[in-house]
A = this chain, B = another copy of it.
Amino acid sequence: MRQCLRAALLGGALLLAGLPGGTHAQGTPSPAGPSAGAPAEAPLQVREIGSLHVGGRVAELSGLPSREIVYSPGAPPIRLDPNGQFQVEQMYAQYVRLQDPRARYPLILAHGGGLTGVTYETTPDGRPGWQMLFLRAGHDVYVTDAVERGRAGWARFPEILPGEPVFRTMGEGWGLFRVGPADGWNIEPSLRRAFPDTRFPAAAWNRFMRQGVPRWTTTDRQVQAGYDALVQQVCPCVILVHSQGGNFGFTAALNAPDKVRAVIAVEPSGTPPAGADAARLRGIPHLVVWGDHIEGNPFWTNIRANVGRWQARIREAGGTADTLDLPAQGIRGNSHMLMMDDNNAEIAARIQDWMARQGLMR
């Protein structure tokens, strides 16, 4: 069973990898939703699906004026006093537990900035996301929304959440996520210029933009507290983080080295401060995954260098901090959103192999 599912995952991956860059998976399912002919595989044996919120605090507001509102058509108006106590700064996780997981620990999937756990649930062109692929590989999977993102909810600002939220334009990510050159963006799809070898489903860019949510840049402390509370509640575990989630994952391991069994950082955008004690991570294997088109991009070469220094400090302390550099392995064209790229199954399979080598599978 284990072998056949691993084979299915890897097999599907290699099949995808054989496709020309930029095209979609064979028999591409409609982005309408469920992949038409998707799983010829055996059904998942699921024990339980549910969710939880963790962390947060009670905040109090006072002195704000009242106003009258109607909650829904036909309902009588209600005088709303915006003052009072509010439950704020919690983090959200949805879990799918297998009847017979083959992984030793649950796998926590954490998104990057301006996004939510949806990052792992699907791809903009409607193929299976990493949630499904890692479930098939035998992991209990927790898909999370960070504090003030998605189902974690958000609070009044600036009274409770400091500063103001940032709303990502449709064009910003095109260059920042390395789907194409920054000046290759155009609101008119036919005029957009992607990298010729991009593996991102660029034709589904507008669908990807529907996954975006506002985010603050002033709430790192609150977001980290959410991660730390989640680790205390559901770990021992393996944490897989993306982009802005990178530093939160590295720091969650530093804050609970007894609970976090491994950290997989996919294109992490930040690192712990210079003073952080990397020796605490000696027993926690780390893997950092990088896509393509970083060379010649000052923003990303700078970030990769910062992360490289952090990995070096873990190794100097006697720990494991490996790198999966896809272009160096001959896999070209991956974007910053490589869990959505057309070879997302191949990349998941390589991460799965690394986890197996670290003894994280039964």
Contacts and interface: CB of A to CB of B under 8 A. Distances in A.
A172 interface: yes
A303 interface: yes
Contact of A151 (B56, B155, B206, B213): B213
Given A46-B44, A84-B171, A96-B49, A72 B244 contact: yes
A350 interface: no
Interface stretch (A122-130, A254-262, A285-293, A314-322): A122-130
Given A87-B210, A154-B213, A99 B43 contact: yes
Interface stretch (A18-26, A33-41, A336-344, A352-360): A33-41
20 contacts: A34-B97, A44-B45, A49-B96, A49-B121, A49-B132, A51-B121, A71-B269, A73-B270, A74-B247, A82-B169, A84-B171, A84-B172, A86-B168, A87-B206, A116-B151, A145-B151, A150-B153, A151-B213, A153-B214, A155-B214
B31 A72 contact: no
Contact of A50 (B34, B92, B168, B302): B34
Nearest to A246: B72
Contacts of A116: 151
Given A52-B126, A167-B155, A302 B85 contact: no
A81 B88 CA distance: 29
Given A47-B39, A47-B43, A303 B74 contact: yes
A74 B122 CA distance: 29
A50 B244 contact: no
B154 A86 contact: no
Contacts of A151: 116-118, 145, 150-151, 213
A222 to B, nearest CB: 14
Given A85-B187, A150-B151, A121 B50 contact: yes
A117 B118 CA distance: 13
A180 to B, nearest CB: 16
Contacts of A50: 33-35, 121-122, 126, 128-129, 131-132
Contact of A69 (B48, B171, B217, B306): B217
A52 B33 contact: yes
Contact of A169 (B73, B84, B97): B84
B118 A73 contact: no
A118 B92 contact: yes
Contacts of A85: 169-171, 187
Interface in A87-110: 87, 90, 92-99
Contact of A212 (B153, B206, B243, B269): B153
Contacts of A80: 166
A14 interface: no
Nearest to A206: B87
Interface in A236-256: 243-244, 246-247
A211 interface: yes
A95 B33 contact: yes
A346 B277 CA distance: 53
